[in-house]
Amino acid sequence: MARTELKLLGAWPSPYVMRPRIALNIKSVDYEFLQETFGSKSQLLLESNPVHKKIPVLIHKGKPICESLIIVEYIDETWSSGPSILPSDPYDRAIAKFWGAYVDEKWFPNLRILSTAEGEAKDQVIGTIVEGLDLLEDAFVKISKGKTFFGGDQIGYLDIAFGCYLGG
């Protein structure tokens, strides 16, 4: 595939941009990475994501796909090269999507709050984060079935959804 057919708009330090980059690498898909600068938005970004006006955006054959986990699903469904990212079983797939949403909607927002919390509020947020990690650990035990990753023997959807926050 020509590099111009597939572009990813993003910024390298963004955990959300890390997700499609990992998925594209798992699938061995060649793409062009277009670096966005924090604090400013390119015209291509504004045209490609007019609703949220944020990264990442995958542009495939001129058509934009927005939101990191949606992009990961699109990559998995579009390219059969490399291992599957989402589970093939519908129930397992739904569970992976549930926990991916949990990470984004419930767990990670508390990490953001922690950066500005003080005193008793900070202790409360830390407790909430730890509770979330306990839930994720229980989910890992059940979902991984004793294997190395949430995805089993290989990195999968939930590994990408959660793991992008653990880089550093």
- Asked if residue 63 and residue 41 are part of one domain, the reply reads yes
Residue 166: predicted pLDDT:
79
Amino acid (one-letter) located at 155: I
Question: How many domains are contained in the chain?
Answer: 2
Residue 141: predicted pLDDT:
95
Instruction: Compute mean pLDDT per 10 residues along the chain, 168 residues long, and list them.
Output: 80 93 96 93 96 97 97 97 94 96 93 90 94 95 94 94 81
Residue 121: predicted pLDDT:
93
13 falls within a domain: yes
Could you list the residue range(s) of the whole structural domain that residue 65 is in?
Answer: 6-79
**DSSP codes, 52-102:** T--S-EEEETTEEEESHHHHHHHHHHH--SS--SS-SSHHHHHHHHHHHHH
85 falls within a domain: no
Residue 167: predicted pLDDT:
65
Global pTM reads 0.91
- Asked if residue 75 and residue 22 are part of one domain, the reply reads yes
Q: 79, 103, 119 — which closes off a domain?
A: 79
Q: 34, 57, 79 — which closes off a domain?
A: 79
CATH number of the domain encompassing residue 40: 3.40.30.10
